[in-house]
Each structure stands twice: as structure tokens, then as C-alpha cells.
Chain A
Amino acid sequence: MSVITVERKILAKNDEIAEQNRELLKQNDVFTINLVSSPGSGKTSLLEKTISLIGSKVNISVIEGDVQTSLDAERVANYNVPVVSIVTNGACHLEAKLVQDAINNLDLAKTELLFIENVGNLVCPAGFDLGEEMKIVVVSTTEGDDKPLKYPKMFRNSDVMIINKIDLIPYVNCDISKLKDNALLINPGLKIFEVSCTSGEGIKEWCNWLIENVKGKYIHQTQLVY
């Protein structure tokens, strides 16, 4: 019997390609967000709202990941931003190689902000680095306030949590302060926004933060007036 000591990270290959993506995006001054959530939390709606509010101020491109169909990509393309669709044909998450191929189809020189909308899934995308600046997790009030405890890895690995569908709070069994407490138990540094993509509430605050982060590298920005 002989033993070979390996001690290698299983996802080292993915991490390596993700690092190449990160380097390329950095060289081109692209601020990249990996947008994650359960199916139906409102990632695409959030993109639509965000692009319609700040699309004229920031050059946005979108990579749309979906298990099947390019329906989301078509929705986003209606807002006149470059969109590359990745259909995973069954796979439950995006990997760095798929994103690398998608990036090659984008004009990075004309992109300041890149959204990668991941496959709707709170488990699998958490483990796969794509080369993003940060993960942002969207959670909606209809999903209940215990989601962060049930899917800790995703909330741990995200820098921002956006609580969507706050207009539905009176009708659903979701204690929003409990939702926030649960998320902070997992990740005390999490930045939290409360929005409704239907009523538009909270979208300006989120967009102001976004613009500051995208443009912050170059200019000092006061609160934007829309």
C-alpha cells in the first residue's frame, strides 16, 4: 500500500479561471456583480429596474445564466444593453469557464458595470467563483425570514443582501427584522437594501450605492438626483 498526499482544492481549476476573469475585468475597469438568489426572487426584475434608472449614466452589460430558455436575456435586452445568454441545459450553476466564454463576447472597453445573473438556486452557485467583485444575494419576502439560516454559505459569501417584494409584507408571513437578524448572524458585515421592484420603493437607494461603487474609483460622488 502506498499513499500519495495531494491536499488539493477540488475547485482549484474553476478558481484559476475565475482569477483570470477577475484580472481581465479589473484591467478594463469593469465592476462585476454575481447576482444570486432562489428562482423567482426577482433578479431579472431588479436588473430591469436598475437599468431603466441608471442605464443612461453607467454603461451596463449583462450575462444571463439560465437552465433553459433565453427568456430572461430577451427581457433584459429590451432595455438596450448588451446581453450575453448562457443556457446551462440543466446545470444548476454557472462556472468560471462559461463566464470566460461569455466575457469574450462583450465589449469590455464599453462596460463599466457587468451583472452576471446566475441560475436561480441558493445552494450550488455559492461555491463557484466566477471572477466577480462581489456576490449580491436577492431574497424576497415571500420566501420567509429563515432563508439565511437554511442556506448559510450563500449569505456568508455575499457582500450585499437585497430584500425584494417589501410591498407584499402585509400579506405574507415574513418578519423582516428577523430576516435581517438571521442574515447578520451568518454574515455580520452584510450590507442590506429593502426594495420593491413592483412599487419602486428602495430602488433609488440601491442605485445610488451602486453608482458610488462603480464610479467611486474615479470621482467623488454626492447623492444623485434623478
Chain B
Amino acid sequence: MHELSIAKNIIEIVKESVEEKDLSEVDKVVLKIGDLSGVVPASLLFSLEAITNNTELENAGYEVINVPFIVKCNTCGKESNNEAGIVRCTLCGSNDTGIISGNELLVSEIILKN
């Protein structure tokens, strides 16, 4: 349940990014969560709701953009959408690969009502 810590950090970032008088105007917070981030979106949304209950942010919604785990092979040059965490190239079997995406854990955008 580290989602609760993550949720607290998200709310901190929102408070730092939006002027205090506009907090109740927050319509939606857009989050980017990678497949290898270790965060379960449903638990995170539950935690966000729980900690914003009875605050200026209680009516804010959240959108989670899932970022797939993608590996680029340095041997065959191709990208593959692997099962989370497996870095071996699924096309040529090489271990010489780099992770292109999947580790993301970001507050991307905050959308205000007005």
C-alpha cells in the first residue's frame, strides 16, 4: 500500500502547481503511470479519494494514462512491448537492450474548470 504515500505526494504537487484560491477549481489531474512503476492505479485512486475527502480537492477527478513497458534492442534495433520487467529482446533474444518507457510516475497536467 505505498499508493497512499504516492497519493500524498501527488496532492503536494497539485498544491504547489495551482494557486490556493483555484484549488476548488481543479477539474482533473492527469497522471502518467508506467507498467513498471509498481503502482496499482485502482489503489492509487482509492487513496486519492480518501485523503482529499472534505478538502478543496474533493471534487477533482483523476485520469491515469498508462505508459507501456517498451524495450529497444541494441542488437537488432527493434522495439518490443514486453511483459512488464522482462528486458530480453523478444524478437532476437539479445540481452543488450535499453528501457524506452514503463518507469514513469508523473503528474502530467492539471485541468481547471475555468
Contact = CB atoms under 8 A, between A and B. Distances in A.
B2 A92 contact: yes
Contact of B107 (A2, A10, A156, A185): A10
Nearest to B34: A153
A13 B9 contact: yes
Given A5-B109, A7-B108, A8-B13, A128 B87 contact: no
Interface string A8-22: 111111100000000
Contacts of A12: 13
A162 to B, nearest CB: 19
What's the interface size class on A, roughly? 20 to 34
B111 A3 contact: yes
A11 B107 CA distance: 10
B61 interface: no
Contacts of A9: 105-106
A188 B95 contact: yes
A123 B2 contact: yes
Contact of A149 (B37, B85, B112, B114): B85
B1 A124 contact: yes
Nearest to A152: B85
Interface residues of B, number: 32
A14 B2 CA distance: 13
B14 to A, nearest CB: 8
A95 B6 CA distance: 11
Given A1-B113, A10-B9, A127-B37, A188 B18 contact: no
Contact of B86 (A7, A95, A128, A152): A152
B27 interface: yes
A186 B86 contact: yes
A93 B18 contact: no
A152 B105 contact: no
Interface of B: 1-2, 5-6, 9-10, 12-13, 17-18, 27, 31, 36-39, 84-88, 95, 105-114
28 contacts: A1-B111, A1-B112, A2-B112, A2-B114, A3-B112, A4-B17, A4-B18, A5-B109, A6-B106, A7-B107, A8-B17, A8-B106, A8-B107, A10-B6, A10-B106, A11-B6, A11-B9, A12-B13, A93-B2, A123-B2, A127-B38, A152-B36, A152-B84, A152-B86, A153-B38, A156-B87, A185-B86, A185-B88
